[in-house]
Structure 1
Amino acid sequence: MTTTADLHTLTGAYALHALPDQERAEFEEHLADCAACADEVGELAAAAARLGLAVSAPPHPATKARVMARIPAVRQDVPRVHLPAPSRALTRRLGRWALAACVAGAAGLAGTTVWQHSRADDAGRRASASRQRADELAGVLSASDVTSRHVRLPGGATGTLLVSRSRDRAAFVASGMVVPPRGKVYQLWFDDSGTMRPAGLMDSHRATQAVVLDGSPGGSSAVGITVEPAGGSARPTSTPVALMELPV
């Protein structure tokens, strides 16, 4: 069983799909309740995507094998937390409190069990969705026919569009995005000969992120970004922040 302290050190390995199945499952359960780790995973995934764009040739199988073999042997140091020893008076009080806590805990056990089961189901769904998005992004980046187009966005931000026709998917990697107004969100659109088709929402709290667009890029010539009410819109309600031609 991996400790909570250990789990905080696994963000990089998770973003690179380098965790064994059991450790990945434990980390995804932790990820559902740890906003700091979720933010770090998102930033690392986006950084890995940008670095991957600079490599046009796949790594040699022997190189990958050596790197994967080293991963279990190179681990980050576990944070050391020093807690003061409890006083004797505190220890005696804790004994009385423990008895009272046992009585109260027994009374509330049924309700707590139901709440924990619901929370576990919700965490499992979020972890599954996160894993699916990461797998889809990795699929686009590793596709043999992936093409890309780099663009400059308002406010000094930059973006990269990636398309894999064989996988029929597109992705967008953004860096330096300005936080939208409160209650608003960036929404992506496929431009189908002038008709804008919803392609998903971006995370309003992250300046750097990688997003796999919803739907097929087939029949589209460009991707647009608009500022929409939280939750998104069926049709654009604002002037596009950017309209980017899809790479050929």
Structure 2
Amino acid sequence: MTTPELHTLTGAYALHALDPAERAEFERHLRACPACAQEVAELSATAGRLGLAVSLTPPDALKERVMRAVTTERQLPPAVPAASRTGSGAGRRRAPARWALAACLAAAAGLGGVAVWQHEEVQDARAQAQAAQDQARELAAVLSAPDARTTSGKLSDGASGTVVVSRSQDRAAFIASGLPKPPAGKAYQLWFDDGGTMRSAGLITSSAATQSVLLHGHIGRASGMGITVEPAGGSASPTTNPLALMDFPA
């Protein structure tokens, strides 16, 4: 592998995406290239911040819901062995056994419902985590792309923003700093500027003051982006004056 090719592997190395042979070769190069070493350190720090941004914490109500479901389940009575004798006495002794069997079936059915509910909760959490991880990988790919270009500007609410564009990825990311929480019932919405026509690029769902967001959709013909305050569910087109309009870097 040539030295120019090795210079392009900083992003893949920071995300542990190299095979063992490539990793060993790049690490030999890294010891002799201060520029690549600095870029790897910056990209590794960015990847770490992205990982923290998409980490999931179980909701506080989950334990309470599980414990409440457990306490409503009927306890099984002790099993009563069937008597070997026949007659009315044996019939009376078999009756508790039949009740015990019915109780077991009822409890099993109830526990099965709890198990299904818990399985669905786990599946939903896994799906959300996978979606967050996928988006984090796509965001990291844009930020670490060899052709990534940036431009920065001020927002009208005092915050600052930086847009990162990768033409090879056909994607863009927005990095906000000092972004205040939107008013109640409102959200920040991002837009692609397609020659004066604004195309939705998704909502900023986190309330963090500093964050990195991947714009939804491809750049296409867009020459820039904007950010507005919209109703919490978003709008089909901007309904307020933009906080900022930023041209994409050439």
- TM-score interval, smaller chain: 0.5 to 0.7
Displacement of 1:60 in angstroms is 7.9
Which residue in the other structure is 1:58 paired with?
36
Question: Where in structure 1 are there 5+ consecutive unaligned residues?
Answer: 1-15, 19-55, 68-99
Secondary structure in structure 1 of the residue aligned to 2:37: coil
For residues 179 and 150 of structure 2, the distance between their equivalents in structure 1, rounded to whole angstroms, comes to 19
Structure 1 stretches (4+) deviating beyond 2 angstroms? 56-61
- Percentage identity across aligned positions? 52
Question: Where in structure 2 are there 5+ consecutive unaligned residues?
Answer: 1-13, 17-33, 45-71, 77-103
1:103 is the counterpart of 2:75: yes
Indicate if the aligned counterparts of 1:145 and 1:166 stay in contact, CA closer than 8 A. yes
For residues 165 and 123 of structure 1, the distance between their equivalents in structure 2, rounded to whole angstroms, comes to 33
2:181 is aligned, of 170, 179, 182, to 179
For residues 155 and 35 of structure 2, the distance between their equivalents in structure 1, rounded to whole angstroms, comes to 28
Indicate if the aligned counterparts of 2:154 and 2:161 stay in contact, CA closer than 8 A. yes
Provide, for residues 111-149 of structure 1, a one-character-per-residue CA deviation record: whole Å limited to 9, x for no partner: 210111110111111011110111011101111100001
Indicate if the aligned counterparts of 1:169 and 1:217 stay in contact, CA closer than 8 A. yes
For residues 230 and 209 of structure 1, the distance between their equivalents in structure 2, rounded to whole angstroms, comes to 18
Aligned residues: 162
1:211 is the counterpart of 2:213: yes
Displacement of 1:171 in angstroms is 0.3
TM-score (norm 1): 0.59
Displacement of 1:203 in angstroms is 2.1
1:153 is the counterpart of 2:164: no
Structure 1 pair 57–245 and aligned structure 2 pair: CA distance change class (3 A)? farther
Which amino acid in 2 is paired with 1:240?
A: P
Displacement of 1:154 in angstroms is 2.4
Which residue in the other structure is 1:97 paired with?
none
Indicate if the aligned counterparts of 1:158 and 1:174 stay in contact, CA closer than 8 A. yes
Which residue in the other structure is 2:199 paired with?
197
Which amino acid in 2 is paired with 1:179?
A: K
1:132 is aligned, of 131, 134, 156, to 134
For residues 228 and 57 of structure 1, the distance between their equivalents in structure 2, rounded to whole angstroms, comes to 42
For residues 38 and 187 of structure 2, the distance between their equivalents in structure 1, rounded to whole angstroms, comes to 41
Could you say which structure has the greater relative contact order, defined with CA pairs below 8 angstroms and 6 or more residues apart?
1
Indicate if the aligned counterparts of 1:184 and 1:230 stay in contact, CA closer than 8 A. yes
For residues 204 and 126 of structure 1, the distance between their equivalents in structure 2, rounded to whole angstroms, comes to 15
1:167 is the counterpart of 2:139: no
Which residue in the other structure is 1:119 paired with?
121
Displacement of 1:235 in angstroms is 1.1
For residues 153 and 115 of structure 1, the distance between their equivalents in structure 2, rounded to whole angstroms, comes to 45
Provide, for residues 48-98 of structure 1, a one-character-per-residue CA deviation record: whole Å limited to 9, x for no partner: xxxxxxxx943389x88xx9xxxxxxxxxxxxxxxxxxxxxxxxxxxxxxx
What is the aligned-residue RMSD (CA, Å)? 3.0
Indicate if the aligned counterparts of 2:73 and 2:111 stay in contact, CA closer than 8 A. no
Indicate if the aligned counterparts of 1:187 and 1:199 stay in contact, CA closer than 8 A. yes
For residues 60 and 224 of structure 1, the distance between their equivalents in structure 2, rounded to whole angstroms, comes to 31
Structure 1 pair 185–154 and aligned structure 2 pair: CA distance change class (3 A)? same
Displacement of 1:204 in angstroms is 4.7
Displacement of 1:240 in angstroms is 1.0
Secondary structure in structure 2 of the residue aligned to 1:201: strand
Which amino acid in 1 is paired with 2:182?
A: P
TM-score (norm 2): 0.58
1:246 is aligned, of 240, 245, 248, to 248
Which amino acid in 2 is paired with 1:182?
A: A
Displacement of 1:17 in angstroms is 5.3
Which amino acid in 1 is paired with 2:231?
A: P
Indicate if the aligned counterparts of 1:180 and 1:204 stay in contact, CA closer than 8 A. no
Structure 1 pair 204–154 and aligned structure 2 pair: CA distance change class (3 A)? farther
For residues 35 and 194 of structure 2, the distance between their equivalents in structure 1, rounded to whole angstroms, comes to 32
